[in-house]
Structure 1
Amino acid sequence: MNIRKITTVTEEILAEGGRRTDPVITVAAVAAVIENPWHGQGFVEDLGSGIDATASELGAVLAPRVMEALGGTLEAYGKAAIVGLSGEIEHGSALIHTLKFGNHFRDAAQASTLLPAVEKRGEAGAVFDIPLKHFTDATIRSHHQTFEWRVADAPHPGEILIALAGSTGGRPQQRLASLSTEQ
C-alpha cells in the first residue's frame, strides 16, 4: 500500500438550533490518500489480490487514529471512499466493503453493527458525505447523521481517498421518536 498523505479533521458541536449542546458532541474523521492498487491495469476481473494487499493494513492505520482524534467514547460511525477519475467506483467499494478493513474500526470501537458507507468517483476536492449510524444498533434514529468533508488535493486520478468517521453522540438536539413508535 502506498499512502501519499493522511488527513484528520475534528469538530466540536457546541450549539444547534439556538441552544447549547449538552454534552458537546465531537466528530472526527481520518482519511488516507492511497495509490489505487488497480490503477493502469485495465479492467481487473478478480480484485482479491488488491484487497488482500491493502484493506486490512488501511483499516489498521485509520481506525486507531479516528478513536484518538475523537477523544471520547464513540457512539456513531461510518466510512467512505472517493476513487480518482481514472479508477472505478468498484475499486473503492472493494477496499471498504470487506471485514478485513471494517473489523479494525469495529474492534477499536467495540461496535457490533455494519459500518454505513458511501463511495463514488470524483476529482480532487470532491465532497464526502460520510453517513454515520449508531455503533451497536443501526435503528437508533438519533444517531443517523452525515459528516461533510473534503480533502482539497485528493484524490488524484490514480488515487483513492478512504475515510473513517466517528461521533461521540447523535445529532445535536434530536427530537425524533423511536422507530418502535411506528411499528
Structure 2
Amino acid sequence: MSAVIDATARTYDLSTVSTLNDYSDVAAAIGLRTILVSVEEMPASGLRTQPILRAAATAVIRNPWVGTATDADLQPETERIAPVLAKLLTDRLIDALGGAASIEAFGKAAVVGLSGEIEHAGALIHTPYFGNLMREALQGTSILCFVDDRSGPGRHLRVPLWHKTEPTTRDYYQSLDVILPDAPHHDEIAVIAAASTGPRPHARIGDRMTDRPVTSEILKGIAL
C-alpha cells in the first residue's frame, strides 16, 4: 500500500489511492478475510439506450467485538474500521459500474455472525464513518437505505436501494439479492455496499412529488 504517512503508527492516506490492487496492509489491520463483488446486467428497454448495471460489493471481516459485553463502547473500532470498509467497497462499485457519475441508486447492509450482536453490524454501517464516506465517494446526498441482520453462513439478503440524490423518486425503489454462501462465520461480520446505474425495469408508478392528495376519505367510495 502506498502513501504511508507514519510508518511507526502504521497510518495511511487512502484518500487519493485505489484499493483495487495493493491493499494487503489495511486488509490485515481490519481482519479482512475476503471481498466478493457481483454484477448483474439488465438489457436496455423503453427510452433507455444503455443496459442497467447493478452491483454489490461485500467485505467479510473478523468481528472485533466478539466476547465483549452488551454495554461495551463500540466507537473506537467503528472509527478505525468503518472508513476503510467504505473505501474498499466503494472503490469496487465505482470500478464495476463505470464510475461514480454512472451510479444513480445505492444502499447498504451488514450481517453479523452468531457470536456477535446486531449492534455490531450497525456499528459498521450506521455511522458517518461509513455512510458519509460512501455518499461522498458515489457522489450522493441521500440517506442510505439499509438492512442489517444476525445470521450464520448462507444468508440470502435483499438489499434495498433508492436514488442517491432524490430518495422520493419511486422509480428507483428497488432491491438487490445478495447471497453469502460462506459468510459470516460465527465470529465475523459481512458488510455490503450496493449500487445501480438506473431505476427498476419498466418503472411506471409515478412519483411522490406529483401524486394527487390521498387521505382516508377515499375509503368512503371504494369501487370494487
TM-score band, normalised by shorter chain: over 0.9
Query: Which residue pairs with 1:79 in the alignment?
Result: 108
Q: CA deviation at 1:111?
A: 0.6
Any idea what SS the aligned residue of 1:179 has?
Answer: coil
| Structure 1 letter corresponding to 2:66 | H
Query: Which residue pairs with 2:27 in the alignment?
Result: none
Ranked by relative contact order (alpha carbons within 8 Å, sequence separation 6 or more), the top structure is 1
Aligned ranges 1:1-183 → 2 under 5 Å: 1-14=30-43, 22-71=49-98, 73-180=102-209, 181-183=211-213
Distance 2:165 2:113 in 1: 32
| Structure 2 letter corresponding to 1:81 | A
Any idea what SS the aligned residue of 1:148 has?
Answer: strand
After superposition, what is the alpha-carbon deviation per residue over 1:120-151, rounded to whole angstroms, capped at 9, x for unaligned? 00110101211100000110000000001112
Note if contact 2:32-2:60 (Cα within 8 Å) is conserved in structure 1: yes
* CA-atom RMSD in angstroms: 1.7
Distance 1:130 1:95 in 2: 16
TM-score (norm 1): 0.93
Change (3 A) 1:107 1:95: same
**Count of aligned residue pairs for this structure pair:** 181
Any idea what SS the aligned residue of 2:43 has?
Answer: strand
Greater mean alpha carbon deviation, residues 69-78 or residues 141-150: 69-78
Structure of higher CA gyration radius: 2
Structure 1 unpaired stretches of 5+: none
Distance 2:50 2:44 in 1: 10
Structure 2 unpaired stretches of 5+: 1-29, 214-224
Any idea what SS the aligned residue of 2:96 has?
Answer: helix
After superposition, what is the alpha-carbon deviation per residue over 1:12-38, rounded to whole angstroms, capped at 9, x for unaligned? 01278xx89743110011000001110
Note if contact 2:90-2:193 (Cα within 8 Å) is conserved in structure 1: yes
Any idea what SS the aligned residue of 1:60 has?
Answer: helix
Note if contact 2:121-2:189 (Cα within 8 Å) is conserved in structure 1: yes
Higher relative strand content: 1
Note if contact 1:143-1:170 (Cα within 8 Å) is conserved in structure 2: yes
TM-score (norm 2): 0.76
